[in-house]
Amino acid sequence: MIYVVGGLALAIFYTAAALGIAIWQTDLHWFGDITLACQVTLSPLDQCRLDTIAAGWETLAGLCMAALMLITTLFLAQGRQTVKRWTLPPNTFERSILYRLFIIGVLTLLCAHFFTRITGPDQLGRLAMIEREGVFTSLENLCWPILLQLYVTDRSRIGRYFALTLLLVVASLAFFRGTLLLILIFGIGFYLLDFIWRILNRRNHWKRYRPILTEQLIIGIVVSLLLIPAVITDSASRKTYILSGQSTTNTSSAARQPASSLQTPDPNITPITLLPTGLGERQIMQRIMSPLYHASMARKLADTVPPPTAWDGLARKLRLSDQPNLNEHLYHAIYPSHPAGQTTSLFFGEGAAWSSAPPLFWIVSAVLFLFLLALAGERVGVPIGLLVGLAIWRGYTGGLIDILPSLMLQIIAITLIAKPWMKRMGTLR
């Protein structure tokens, strides 16, 4: 359950950071993409900022309330009782044919992706590459949480190393640094926390867990040495891209920047020239704040334009419809000239667009639903704690409906791969 609590803690931390920056940054003219988002509802920037801060407080309150219920329930459900723990036996990888088939399938997918990458045109921009390799990215996004779940559940070294190797390849092929970050946070950070928690609760077991802790630390160092320079290079290339006058989100959005001489969003505001100094910091702050602004826009836009329904979103995720889902609809509203993309409108945006009650209620219910799912999985012996923890984070950013189809597919896959081999192993306390 540490992954579930961790996913929620991550969401709370992110919201608090975004809210803090939104309160602190009073001058939005420095943030091109946020200014664009505010212009959709024709709100003056100050009003837009105040609406966003209100959305931030409501999101934070909802998440904290859900966290309170979750932690209290976990504490009360376990208390000082003896709790059985499910785990995979050490030789699952050798015995489970589905496990091996899954690993072979992911390997084939990664090879195909790599082949497409190296045989494609050299001069394609980042956005064009994302579009060209979209199918591979979607399938990898479906697979890597399963790999990560197997990695933290499996007790066989060979299975763990296979999963880890494939995860690193996925992270290196991914277009989004968030993938790598989540693999590090959930696969190493929370995994280590889980072990420390168990050691604290079991006396004289340091010797048993020491090899695993050492292994994790070595993996952490190796991964950092291999991938962090690549991330720094990638960030530097994006910075050059921005300095060349293009937004990271949309190549054509620069045309709608308020600095344009023709554009007059507010005659009372003096245009400020965007200086390259501190651009990186502003980009990071903008990235952190954007989901809150998108969520606030979702609420305001839903008042004037009917948003796509939840069924549209589900059908779109299952590739049964070409109609845009809520996040695509918002992206199109904010960056109309770009053909495809999605915003991150949070649980809040989903609640604001599809519920008649304040979004706070939906935020609490969405987290409780995922928590109930994790409890049910634990009860029947399907290891889905990490999948649900990740789903809380991903759902928090993109909405529950957005992640539900992939979560269900992942749970089915992990049930088929691991369930027949799950054994009750010892006790926690």
Contact residues: other proteins, CB under 8 A: 39-42, 44, 69, 72-73, 76-77, 79-80, 255-256, 258, 260, 262-267, 300-301, 303-306, 310, 332-333, 336, 350-351, 354-358, 361-362, 364-366, 368-369, 371-372, 375
- Least distance (Å) between residue 76 CB and other proteins: 5
- Least distance (Å) between residue 49 CB and other proteins: 15
- Least distance (Å) between residue 255 CB and other proteins: 7
Q: Which amino acid is present at 20?
A: G
- Which helix (H) or strand (E) segment holds residue 423: the answer is strand 423-427
Nearest to 417 by CA among 7, 216, 143: 143
Q: What are phi and psi of 134, to 5 degrees?
A: -55, -40
| Closer Cβ to other proteins, 44 or 120, answer by number | 44
- Least distance (Å) between residue 368 CB and other proteins: 5
| Closer Cβ to other proteins, 116 or 365, answer by number | 365
Q: What are phi and psi of 85, to 5 degrees?
A: -125, 135
- Least distance (Å) between residue 346 CB and other proteins: 14
| All residues at 6 or more sequence positions from 194 whose CB lies less than 8 Å from its CB, including other chains | 2, 3, 152
Separation between Cα atoms, residue 75 and residue 71, nearest integer Å: 6
**Is 159:93 a contact under the CB 8 Å cutoff?**
yes
Angle at 388 between CA 371 and CA 351, to 5 degrees: 65
| Closer Cβ to other proteins, 76 or 97, answer by number | 76
| Closer Cβ to other proteins, 354 or 396, answer by number | 354
- Least distance (Å) between residue 397 CB and other proteins: 18
Instruction: Please tell me what DSSP assigns to residue 385.
Output: H
Count how many Cα atoms sit within 13 Å of the Cα of residue 17 in the half-sphere of its side chain: 14
- Least distance (Å) between residue 128 CB and other proteins: 23
Nearest to 145 by CA among 421, 417, 327: 417
| Closer Cβ to other proteins, 71 or 192, answer by number | 71
Angle at 112 between CA 171 and CA 234, to 5 degrees: 35
Nearest to 362 by CA among 6, 61, 18, 35: 61
- Least distance (Å) between residue 204 CB and other proteins: 25
**Is 18:56 a contact under the CB 8 Å cutoff?**
yes
Sign of torsion over alpha carbons 34, 39, 41, 46: positive
Q: What are phi and psi of 425, to 5 degrees?
A: -120, 110
| Closer Cβ to other proteins, 70 or 164, answer by number | 70
| Closer Cβ to other proteins, 218 or 376, answer by number | 376
- Least distance (Å) between residue 2 CB and other proteins: 20
- Least distance (Å) between residue 393 CB and other proteins: 19
- Strand, helix or coil for residue 57: helix
Helices 2-24 and 191-201, axial angle in degrees (round to 10):
120
| Closer Cβ to other proteins, 265 or 280, answer by number | 265
How many angstroms separate the Cα of 138 from the Cα of each of 175, 370, 375? 11, 22, 27
Sign of torsion over alpha carbons 198, 199, 202, 208: positive
| Closer Cβ to other proteins, 390 or 401, answer by number | 401
